[in-house]
Amino acid sequence: MMSVNNDVDTLLRKEIHHLPNYDSGLEPEKLKTRFNLENIIKLSTNENPLGISPKVLDYLNDHVNVLGQYPDPESKVLKQKLAEKLGVKTAQIVIGNGSENILEMLCQTFLNQGDQVITQSPCFGLYEIFPLMMGAKIHKVLNDDSFKVDLDTWLYALKQFTPVKMLLLSNPSNPAGNIFSQTQLLQLIQTLSDDTLLVLDEAYYEYAVANDAYPADSISLLQEHAGCPWIVLRTFSKAYALAGLRVGYGIASDLKIIEALNKVRTPYNINFLAQKAAEAAMDDADFLQKSVKHVLHEREKLQSSLSRQRVFYVPSDANFLFIKTNKLATEISGELNKNGIIVKPWKERGYENYMRVSIGLEKENKIFEETFFRIINML
């Protein structure tokens, strides 16, 4: 047999050697096996606790007979529905296998080795991984203890690291859940030059629009006031409850951005059922409203309980809370795991005493509260 050099490291791109792994969290089945548990409460991945819309499920059942065929590589029907809803051209829209797929394409398309990228801290892990994968340099804007947006700090970072190739901004922030207000976003975009690409991630948009201070029509705001190229990212994974099918979309300022992304996008990146589910979900406004109402109600209840127990949390406009713990969050989450509850302990430097907790069903949230308070009072 021919001998093979097993030293794969010598073949890797140098950026891959020190690239961090994405932390997708603990899987329920593994937890069941580890602690011999029957039931698991998963509050770690910000899914819709109500599950998929019954109307979407019925629609999918009516379309399974064509699964032997390739899907539309352009997602034309879905793009048309989005364009009509958002008041943009279909040529301004790109569809991704989740919005992070579009983030990956953006980094592959626009970032060169040594390019400067600015994002916030704490941040969604892929905001760091994808730029580093391309050899770019990441600079994080730190939150203060209150987690309120300090616009001056952002403006200083933009000047300090000029030229900034890409600004990655999640609004609401993941994992903190805080927001840039309409006024703050306007001030920020007016300072950006045409050599910076603004990536505005609005994965939790449907929850945040309940806050009057939130820039609910960010697309119009950017169209009217931005002097830089931009793209807004949204998803069907959260409020629309299609996390398992992976559908995200982006709306760009310039058709050339979409044309460039299509050069690196795989031709069938959105499967047939995902396209149909997203189309049907857009037509079920009642389920979307019910889902958002549930989260807002349950989030307020959990925030009130935390306040009564004098536990610090970041006031959130998303479907989760970022909670400060009195011990390392991994220690607290480990105790929660023993009780069949999965949350996401944050491991980013400086935030090891925080954990992100998704809003679940009423019963799940109550069990989490009781168990969490018992654990922190015991340790």
Domains of the chain from N-terminus onward: 21-51+286-378 (3.90.1150.10), 66-282 (3.40.640.10)
Residue 327 binned pLDDT confidence (cut-offs 50, 70, 90): very high
Over range 194-203, report the average pLDDT: 97
3-state SS class at 234: strand
Over range 257-270, report the average pLDDT: 96
pLDDT digits (tens, 9 = 90+) for 226-245: 999 999 999 999 999 999 99
Question: Left if phi > 0, otherwise alpha if psi is -120 to 50, otherwise beta: which for 359?
Answer: beta
pLDDT of residue 15 exceeding 90: yes
pLDDT of residue 1 exceeding 90: no
Predicted confidence at residue 63, as pLDDT, reads 87
Predicted confidence at residue 7, as pLDDT, reads 84
pLDDT of residue 266 exceeding 60: yes
Q: Computed from CA positions of residues 159, 161, 165, 170, in that sequence, does the dihedral angle turn out positive or negative?
A: negative
The CA-CA-CA angle for residues 158, 218, 216, to 5°, reads: 125
Q: Which of 276, 280, 320, 283 is nearest to 299 (CA)?
A: 320
pLDDT digits (tens, 9 = 90+) for 50-70: 999 999 999 999 988 888 999
Predicted confidence at residue 82, as pLDDT, reads 98
Helices (H), 146-269: 151-160, 182-189, 205-208, 218-225, 255-264
pLDDT of residue 326 exceeding 70: yes
Over range 318-327, report the average pLDDT: 96
Task: Write out the H or E segment, with its range, that includes residue 329.
Answer: helix 329-338
Over range 247-265, report the average pLDDT: 97
The structure tokens listed for 368 are 């989490």
Identify whether the C-beta of residue 309 lies closer than 8 Å to the C-beta of residue 323.
Answer: no
Over range 158-167, report the average pLDDT: 96
Helices (H), 45-88: 54-61, 76-86
- Residues 6+ away with beta carbon under 8 Å from 376: 311, 325, 326, 327, 332
Q: Count CB atoms within 10 A of the CB of residue 296.
A: 16
Predicted confidence at residue 2, as pLDDT, reads 57
Q: Computed from CA positions of residues 363, 365, 370, 375, in that sequence, does the dihedral angle turn out positive or negative?
A: positive
Residue 5 binned pLDDT confidence (cut-offs 50, 70, 90): low
Predicted confidence at residue 3, as pLDDT, reads 56
Query: Higher confidence at residue 25 or residue 135?
Result: 135
Average pLDDT value for the chain = 95
Q: Count CB atoms within 10 A of the CB of residue 146.
A: 11
Over range 212-224, report the average pLDDT: 96
Question: With 0-12 CB in 10 A as exposed, 13-18 as middle and 19+ as buried, what is 218?
Answer: buried
**How far is the C-alpha of 181 from the C-alpha of 171, rounded, in Å?**
9
